[in-house]
């Protein structure tokens, strides 16, 4: 399990700050740790006071974590004063964690100033350059950049300005837009807009904390969709061609594909001219979405990667073969030539096999067996398999079919 550290303030009612971060880390399957920078006096009605923690105590908390535990990501939230910012920046520069997510908390929903005005410059010069991702909302981005932001064009302008301050990736959250709730992500080269319908609710306390800590937890667990896209683009530039197999997995134990993120990545890559072959958990609706996203084939798993357990998802793969017009390539879990033959008999266009060969006693002989099995299964499918009786029996001979015809 990955370890994720939050450096933020404490919210007495548990909806935001350290408490929200730790809940999010747990929900995302990571182990949460905390460094408290301030103690807020607040409830669902507002913030009524705040006590900053001594900077030396903050440094001591950070030292206690980094000298004992491997940290896969850091989320920074409420840092209200200049000495706090310098203390955190000094320690991050010392330990150099890979994934730092900065949520520049400046003002509470009720209007309470959570950052001293004079601390803005310290935030820009000390913490923003250390951020792998920074996640300001529109008012926070306006304070940081001095720009007026009210549409996607001004959001992009702000993202580019903040990127120049040193942040590697800038996520401008669009919850304060008048129409929808579109967020904008800029990585220094590409702009990605993330559209979503606005949810009309007053229960927005802690949403920014939850989002930034969720990003930190998932950075700790592996690559993002945008990273997968950049890898594919780099491969093409290196002459590896336009074919790309997409595998996006948030689950590190069973290596199950993240279907929704796979759809997103497929759409992005297909629009950029790639021939996309996505690995997915067999689901008809997801397969249809992949077709609409521009996939060149659909590659459902038979069973978990490397398990050699065979066609555990056989019935669902058959649905895809029957309903999807693209080639269905059975990927992951095929462990025996007989299983490969069965998949081909079902009508699969191809199967993927690696572990079955790599773990075989005689690799060349096993490869030959798979070749023969695949060819036999394909011929059987093209010939048309004989019918299966669910009840009773029926006497037959080789001429039965001819006589009926």
CATH code of residue 50? 3.40.1190.20
232 and 166 in one domain? no
370 and 238 in one domain? yes
Domain boundary among 166, 196, 221: 221
Confidence band, pLDDT 50/70/90 cuts, at residue 30: confident
Instruction: Let me know the angle formed at the C-alpha of 325 by 324 and 329, rounded to the nearest 5 degrees.
Output: 75
Tokens 């967020």: give the residue. Answer: 183
| Domain count along the chain | 2
Q: Summarize pLDDT for 210-240 with one digit per residue, the tens.
A: 888 888 887 887 756 465 444 444 544 455 5
The closest alpha carbon to 285, from 262, 255, 312, 253, belongs to 262
Is residue 397 one of the residues assigned to a domain?
Answer: no
Average pLDDT, the chain: 83
Expressed as residue numbers, the domain containing 265 is 225-383
Report in angstroms the alpha-carbon separations of 257 from 62, 231, 284, 304: 35, 18, 15, 10
Domain boundary among 221, 250, 279: 221
* CB-CB neighbours of 218 under 10 Å: 22
Quick one: what percent of the chain has pLDDT higher than 90? 34
Active site residues: 245
**Residue 318, φ and ψ in degrees, nearest 5:** -60, -40
Q: Summarize pLDDT for 47-81 with one digit per residue, the tens.
A: 777 888 999 999 999 999 999 999 999 999 888 88
Residue 137 CA, distance from chain mean position? 21
- Does the predicted TM-score (pTM) go above 0.85? no
193 and 76 in one domain? yes
Residue 336 burial (10 A CB sphere; 0-12, 13-18, 19+): middle
Q: How confident is the model at residue 236, as a pLDDT?
A: 45
Domain boundary among 189, 221, 253: 221
239 and 128 in one domain? no
Q: How far apart are the first and last CA of the chain?
A: 64
Q: What DSSP designation does 129 have? A: G
313 and 168 in one domain? no
């Amino acid at each position: 399990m990955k370890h994720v550290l939050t450096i933020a303030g404490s919210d007495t009612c548990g909806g935001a700050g350290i408490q929200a971060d730790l809940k999010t880390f747990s929900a995302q399957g990571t182990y949460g740790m905390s460094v408290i920078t301030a103690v807020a006096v607040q409830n669902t009605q507002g913030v009524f006071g705040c006590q900053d923690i001594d900077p030396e105590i903050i440094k001591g908390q950070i030292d206690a974590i980094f000298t004992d535990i491997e940290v896969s990501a850091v989320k920074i939230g409420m840092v209200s004063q200049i000495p706090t910012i310098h203390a955190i920046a000094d320690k991050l520069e010392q330990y150099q964690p890979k994934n730092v997510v900065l949520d520049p908390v400046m003002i509470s929903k009720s209007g309470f100033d959570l950052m001293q005005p004079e601390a803005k410059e310290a935030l820009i010069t000390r913490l923003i350059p250390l951020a792998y991702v920074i996640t300001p909302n529109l008012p926070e981005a306006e304070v940081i950049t001095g720009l007026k932001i009210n549409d996607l064009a001004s959001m992009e302008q702000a993202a580019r300005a903040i990127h120049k301050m040193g942040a590697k990736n800038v996520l401008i959250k669009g919850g304060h837009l008048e129409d929808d709730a579109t967020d904008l992500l800029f990585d220094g080269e590409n702009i990605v807009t993330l559209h979503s319908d606005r949810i009309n609710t007053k229960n927005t306390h802690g949403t920014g904390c939850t989002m930034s800590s969720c990003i930190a937890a998932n950075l700790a667990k592996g690559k993002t969709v945008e990273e997968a896209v950049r890898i594919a683009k780099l491969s093409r530039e290196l002459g590896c061609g336009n074919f790309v197999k997409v595998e996006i997995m948030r689950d590190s134990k069973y290596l199950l594909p993240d279907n929704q993120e796979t759809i997103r990545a497929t759409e992005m890559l297909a629009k950029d001219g790639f021939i996309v072959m996505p690995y997915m958990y067999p689901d008809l609706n997801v397969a249809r979405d992949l077709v609409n996203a521009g996939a060149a084939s659909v590659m459902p798993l038979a069973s978990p990667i490397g398990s050699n357990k065979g066609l555990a998802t056989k019935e669902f793969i058959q649905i895809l073969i029957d309903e999807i017009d693209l080639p269905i390539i059975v990927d992951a879990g095929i462990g025996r030539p007989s299983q490969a033959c069965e998949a081909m008999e079902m009508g699969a266009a191809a199967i993927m096999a690696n572990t079955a060969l790599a773990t075989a006693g005689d690799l060349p002989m096993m490869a030959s067996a798979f070749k023969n099995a695949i060819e036999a299964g394909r011929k059987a499918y093209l010939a048309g398999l004989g019918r299966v009786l669910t009840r009773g029996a029926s006497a037959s001979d080789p001429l039965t079919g001819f006589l009926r015809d």
